Structure 1
Amino acid sequence: MSVTIKDVAKKAGVSPSTVSRVLSNNTRISRETSQKVRDVMEELGYHPNIMAKSLVSRTTETICVILPKPAEELFLNLFFMELIRGIVTQANRSGYDVLISSGGSEQEEVDAVSRLLKGKRVDGAILLYSRKDDQVVEFLKKNQFPFVLIGRSEKYPDILSVDNDNVQAAYDATKHLISLGHERIGFVSGPPNHIVSRDRLKGYMNALEEAGLEMRRDWIVEGEFLQESGYRAMSFFMNLPERPTALVVMDDFVSLGVLRGLHELGYKVPEDLCIVSFNNLSIAELASPPVSSMDIGIYNLGYTASQALIQSIQHDGDKHLQKRHIIPHRLVIRESSVYTPPKES
């Protein structure tokens, strides 16, 4: 015979309604009582009927993460693995499951979100990217579905979002290279339709302008967050009549491609080119040489996004909840940007 809520309540010495509140993570229940009830559940082998619970509460206690392109491509970059680790950790602590969905295009992403939310399979969504004129954001806003954006929206600055101050972070990275005496500084950017790419480009340009340094368009290369983008950028940069002596790179994974390209061309880091990258993944420290990188708190980005979304769901979009969360950044300096006098090309 299966164990019921009444059995758990009797064994724990509480009312059945208290057990129900523990199952729904009601904040009115003390941590001690909640733990006591959960210990009894485990002892008796009680498992709640999720389908029945969803019908009563009209919630699924599941959130979805929408990947902005095919998952097999994204998972090549450890940034997304760390981001999702933060999301899943916080969701599990709040009693929520995480469903991951992806699409090969924006329209496919919209279709995926529509199936999940209109089909009442999830309670809300986390978007891992902010893009200009994003169709997914438009769909979620129009249908008033709970969601959180990792990044920022130019069109809807009031939506729930978690981000870094990417303008300031890129400014700080560029200023570090300027402090080493570099005057010819290039920029390896990400996709131009991504807000983070535009914000970091702005920070880079602000630092150059403040220092009275030239900003040249041929020292800026756009690409994807893939090694291949960094590799291709080196073929371009190192063949310029006047090449940069230092680079700000959008992503650690891209910086690996930069290092590979430089090695094949016979150049050394930092002697021939200094590098500062972003994200401070483990691969930055393990690279040869270790790469200086801006730590943007990837895990905290995911954790805070999950927390903010679940709070919004549980409080039914309370207007008094904080809408914009900014995660601090810090530069971790390694061998790729130690002082070396800029060489003449």
Structure 2
Amino acid sequence: MSITIKDVAKFANVAPSTVSRVIANNPRISDKTKEKVREAMDELGYHPNFIARSLASQSTQVLGLVTPGSSDVFFQNPFFPTVLRGLSEGAHEKQYALQLVTGMDEEEIYNGVVQMVQGGRVDGVVLLYSKVEDRILMYLREQRFPFVMIGKPFKFVDEITHVDNDNFQATKDATDYLLKLGHERVSFVGGDVNLVVTVERLLGYKNALEEAGITYRKDYVLHESFLLEGGKDAVGELMELPLSERPTALVIADDLMALGVLNTLNEIGIAVPGDISIMSFNNVLVSEMSRPPLSSVDINIFDLGYEASKQLIKRIEKPEEPAKRIIVQHNLVKRFSSGPLTK
């Protein structure tokens, strides 16, 4: 025999309507009552019928997640499983589920978002990226559909709630660290130039060089995919420079890309950090497991996801909520891939 709301109400000594409000996470119900009712639900093994709730409340209790590009990149890079854990925890606290939109290319992803919004499948959307030009962002604005971004918007910064790091300062800090180790020939290996994070980090790199009185060199700046192959390609380009002009340190915008750099340098007999020092980004598990372990900027990926889901749910439940910019702190984790310049 299935457990009903009335059974839960009787067990918790509250009215059935109170149980319904707790399931809907009504803000008028006290935290003490919510805790008591949820304990009763757990004790009895009661599971709400979310389909029935959606029909009654005209809410799906689902958040849509939009990936930045092809599913190949998404599923290979460890950044995304970590940010998904944060999103999931924030959503679970408010009893929301997640729906992921992926595709083989940008057109497939755009069409998937349109279908998701027009079909009423989600209450709001999280963009897991920020691009310089983005059809999806413009579409969501035109539809006046609730959404937040992980990353700083290129346009409408004051009108869009977004969760981000201070990527300018983070890259300046990473570059300053290498400069203080005595490196003057520092290269920047970034990602897609259409991503705002790449633009912000490049500006931070340039600013660090400028303050140190070091001339910016275009041939020291490369843009590759956030994959192992991107790192390998970057090494290939840098090794084409004359030996006396090759960089002695690299700022790399992603740990997976940095692992590709490490592997390739090892294959051609270049020592890290003896010949080249590396400072990477993200501080995911691969940075600790690499040989040598990577120095990396910890951008607290989990917190980015957690705050994004929390902010989106706020916008769904309170549409009049003003746009916010949430900055997640970063810190430099210094390991064995970076060291003082050796003559």
Query: Following superposition of structure 1 onto structure 2, how do residues 41-52 of structure 1 map, counting pairs within 5 Å?
Result: 41-52=41-52
- Tell me how far 1:317 sits from its aligned partner: 4.0
| Secondary structure, aligned partner of 2:98 | strand
For the residues of structure 2 that align with 1:45 and 1:187, how far apart are their CA atoms?
A: 54
Relative to structure 1, the CA distance from residue 107 to residue 156 in structure 2 (aligned partners, 3 Å threshold; closer, same or farther) is farther
Q: In the TM superposition, what whole-angstrom CA distance separates every residue of 1:64-107 from its partner, at most 9, and x where no partner exists?
A: 11112233431211111101011001111111111111123333
CA contact (8 A) 1:106 1:135 kept: no
Query: Following superposition of structure 1 onto structure 2, how do residues 131-280 of structure 1 map, counting pairs within 5 Å?
Result: 131-157=131-157, 158-241=159-242, 242-280=245-283
| Secondary structure, aligned partner of 2:104 | coil
Aligned to 1:300: 303
- Tell me how far 1:3 sits from its aligned partner: 3.1
For the residues of structure 2 that align with 1:329 and 1:308, how far apart are their CA atoms?
A: 20
Aligned to 2:74: 74
Aligned to 2:31: 31
CA contact (8 A) 1:170 1:200 kept: yes
- Tell me how far 1:324 sits from its aligned partner: 0.7
Q: In the TM superposition, what whole-angstrom CA distance separates every residue of 1:11-67 from its partner, at most 9, and x where no partner exists?
A: 211112211110011222222221221222233333322222112211111101111
Q: Residue type matched to 1:182 in 2?
A: H
- Tell me how far 1:238 sits from its aligned partner: 2.0
- Relative to the length of structure 1, the TM-score reads 0.95
For the residues of structure 1 that align with 2:107 and 2:137, how far apart are their CA atoms?
A: 12
Q: Residue type matched to 1:340 in 2?
A: L
Q: Residue type matched to 2:314 in 1?
A: Q
| RMSD between aligned residues | 1.3
Q: Residue type matched to 1:3 in 2?
A: I
2:284 aligned to which of 281, 286, 289? 281
Query: Following superposition of structure 1 onto structure 2, how do residues 80-99 of structure 1 map, counting pairs within 5 Å?
Result: 80-99=80-99
Q: In the TM superposition, what whole-angstrom CA distance separates every residue of 1:154-181 from its partner, at most 9, and x where no partner exists?
A: 2110201000010010000000011011
Q: Residue type matched to 2:198 in 1?
A: S
For the residues of structure 2 that align with 1:154 and 1:184, how far apart are their CA atoms?
A: 30
- Tell me how far 1:316 sits from its aligned partner: 2.2
| Secondary structure, aligned partner of 1:200 | helix
For the residues of structure 1 that align with 2:44 and 2:289, how far apart are their CA atoms?
A: 47
Query: Following superposition of structure 1 onto structure 2, how do residues 51-130 of structure 1 map, counting pairs within 5 Å?
Result: 51-130=51-130
| Secondary structure, aligned partner of 2:337 | helix
CA contact (8 A) 1:191 1:223 kept: yes
Q: Residue type matched to 2:293 in 1?
A: P
Q: Residue type matched to 1:89 in 2?
A: E
For the residues of structure 2 that align with 1:44 and 1:290, how far apart are their CA atoms?
A: 49
1:334 aligns with 2:335: yes
CA contact (8 A) 1:150 1:305 kept: yes
Aligned to 1:13: 13
Q: Residue type matched to 1:256 in 2?
A: L
For the residues of structure 2 that align with 1:70 and 1:275, how far apart are their CA atoms?
A: 28
1:311 aligned to which of 298, 309, 314? 314
Task: Single out whichever of 69-78 and 252-261 deviates more from structure 2.
Answer: 69-78
CA contact (8 A) 2:274 2:339 kept: no
Count of residues in correspondence between the two structures: 340
Gaps of 5+ in 1: none
